[in-house]
Chain A
Amino acid sequence: MGIPTLGAAGDNVVRYAVGYNFQYTNGMPIRYIGIPFPVAGQPREVLHSYVFDRNDTLSGKPMMKAVVDALTAPPTPEEKISGQPPEAKAEPRFLAPDTADNLQQLFKDKDWTDYNPIILPTEEKVKEMLKGTSQPPDKVVKVISWPGGNRSLTVEKVAVCAVMAGAKPKQFPLILAVAMSVPFGNSTSSMANMILVNGPIRNELEMNYRLNVMGPHNEVNSVVGRCYTLMSKTAGNLHSGKTTFSGLGSNIQYNNLCIAENEEALPAGWEPTHVLKGFKATESVVAVGTGWSYISSVGEVQLKYPVQNLIRDYMRSLTGMGATVIVTPETAGLLRDAQGFKTKRDLSAWLANNVEKTIGSYWGNGVISTMNTSMALQGMEPLASQLKADPETMMKPFQAGQVNIVVAGQGQTTWFVTDFGVGRGTRVDNWR
């Protein structure tokens, strides 16, 4: 804008904002003040005290003196520096030689792992992994632009992570397809991801989509999910306290809900998820979606309370930004044969039309409020009307297109309700 500008951030994130990653992202240092946290949800008298009585949490000065100084104090010598920041220094292709034990420790010290032992990525092992694809090692799979700088995730770097995770070359095309969605969710909330695999690749790699599909009982489900974490932390440059700042974090980020759909057990008329997204049934597709949480049905379906009603009840606790309901084939069969949902879309539409929550509950969620307030105040419907309405008014938080149904597992009439979306999907064959 060409005028002195000051960023104001809560104390929970302001030190990340002034960290090196953010300082140089836009080419110019940014001055910040740190406001005591929390801000949202506080009554006016507390926010009044923040401004009049409290100190800037960065400089320690009285808040408004810090504001005045930030807009008037001349640039410091450090703020006058120009050119490339030291963090732009090229990463060497190889690390300095060391013993295996020391290298295992180095990878932990660098926060490049999930703190479980890794397979050390020797050149030989990486070369072997690269045999799993015809793609050149220097091909860029994705450019990751946040936080700080642009980082080109190449086929070779993905292979390094695949070796670290314990993958085999035949699994590499799937991992490359997953790499297009790196890094995982990074937010002060507990954002996470779900990796969903459809098509022939499930059987080709012997992924688990039956018993214990969401548990630690299959090498491919485990390794591919783990590799997504390792790629996120290395290429994504995600380090707790420096570039990630989730209040609670998420245990889901150890494996990222890496599952496959039990397409073979779909009831008649229920199509695989990737087909509903526009792919052919014969195509192998991986979709990475974003969400936060999942809730188990705990028990099996009961005759006295139709299963869709219980799913509806559970979905009332979701934010309303998206949902994926994961049901066993047996649950799907009951939904189709006993409850009349001839297709997944029928069920999605019914849930979108029957899940209700109060407007107060919907807007009471900070993520909804942060994302939608500006649009509501600018008149976008139905958000604008919702913001003005009685908080006890009921509303429907979902549209049918936001509610995905996935069939997985086997052997019990159980299910999960999740707030994960299903990503657009990537063809695995593109990465062979």
Chain B
Amino acid sequence: MKRKHLIISLLLLVAAAAAYTGLSPDQTQLQAADQPKITVMNPAVTSKMADREPLGPRLDNLEGKTIYMVDISWGGPDAARVVFEEMTAWFAQNIPTVKTVIKRKAGMYSQDDPPLWKEIAANGDAAIIGVSG
């Protein structure tokens, strides 16, 4: 008798839950499909970009070339500088005719440094700039 009451109670509970939602699954899908379409404004802003320039020519090889290594001081005085010193050591072992010049850029990492760029353009064959992180 108790089991029968329990089953009836559960059935009533299920029926009540179904009544509470008010919609069968089929009806819910139908309602979503019936939602009217609306038009809204676009929050994204058009990016005005510089015309892209092709990458300049590369060197045939690094033999006898001068490579400037520009430390932007990201992370303090001992980050990029040590990396560039180790790169210099690698060149000394592997392409000894390469001359490296390690320079620290003036000002904060994001500030321009025209005198340094002028020096590199006049005396360098290539440049490595970094190390950000």
Contacts and interface: CB of A to CB of B under 8 A. Distances in A.
Contacts of A150: 47-49
10 contacts: A9-B132, A39-B75, A51-B90, A72-B59, A82-B52, A121-B41, A149-B49, A160-B43, A230-B43, A387-B77
Given A47-B82, A81-B52, A234-B43, 14 more contacts: A5-B128, A8-B83, A9-B130, A27-B50, A28-B54, A39-B131, A48-B86, A52-B86, A52-B90, A80-B54, A149-B48, A150-B48, A369-B77, A370-B76
- Category for how many chain B residues contact A: 35 or more
A101 B40 CA distance: 12
A111 B44 CA distance: 10
A423 to B, nearest CB: 19
Interface string B66-107: 010000011111111011001101110011000000001111
B84 to A, nearest CB: 9
A175 to B, nearest CB: 14
B109 A370 contact: yes
Nearest to B66: A3
Contacts of A1: 117, 120-121, 124, 127
Nearest to B94: A64
Given A51-B83, A153-B45, A79 B127 contact: no
Nearest to A161: B43
Contact of B133 (A25, A31, A35): A35
B127 A375 contact: no
Interface stretch (A87-95, A259-267, A345-353): A87-95
A82 B47 contact: no
A19 interface: no
- Interface of B (DSSP majority class): loop
A39 B79 contact: yes
B21 interface: no
Contacts of A39: 74-75, 79-80, 83, 131, 133
Contacts of A13: 132-133
B83 A90 contact: no
Contact of B106 (A11, A120, A151, A378): A378
A254 to B, nearest CB: 18
A107 B77 CA distance: 44
A121 B90 CA distance: 58
- Interface of A (DSSP majority class): mixed
A7 B42 contact: no
Query: Top 8 closest A-B pairs, CB basis?
Result: A10-B133, A40-B75, A8-B130, A149-B47, A369-B76, A99-B35, A27-B50, A79-B55
A3 B37 CA distance: 55
A50 B52 contact: no
Contact of B39 (A24, A29, A97): A97
Contact of A29 (B43, B55, B104, B109): B55
A355 interface: no
A82 B120 contact: no
B25 interface: no
A72 B50 contact: no
Contacts of A148: 47, 49
Contact of B58 (A7, A72, A93): A72
B126 A377 contact: no
A374 B53 contact: no
B60 interface: yes
A277 B32 CA distance: 54
Contacts of B38: 97-100, 103, 120, 122
Interface centre among B94, B125, B128, B133 (most CB of A within 10 A): B133
B80 A5 contact: no
Contacts of A71: 58-59, 62, 67, 126
A68 interface: yes
Interface in A184-221: 188
B83 A3 contact: no
B55 to A, nearest CB: 4
A298 interface: no
Nearest to A52: B90
Interface string A1-24: 111111111111100010000001
A37 B132 CA distance: 10
A122 B80 contact: no
Contacts of B104: 374, 377
A73 interface: yes
B14 interface: no
B22 interface: no
B36 interface: yes
A217 to B, nearest CB: 27
A214 B83 CA distance: 45
B21 to A, nearest CB: 18
B27 interface: no
A23 to B, nearest CB: 8
A75 interface: yes
A94 B39 contact: yes
Contacts of A7: 128-130, 132
B87 A27 contact: no
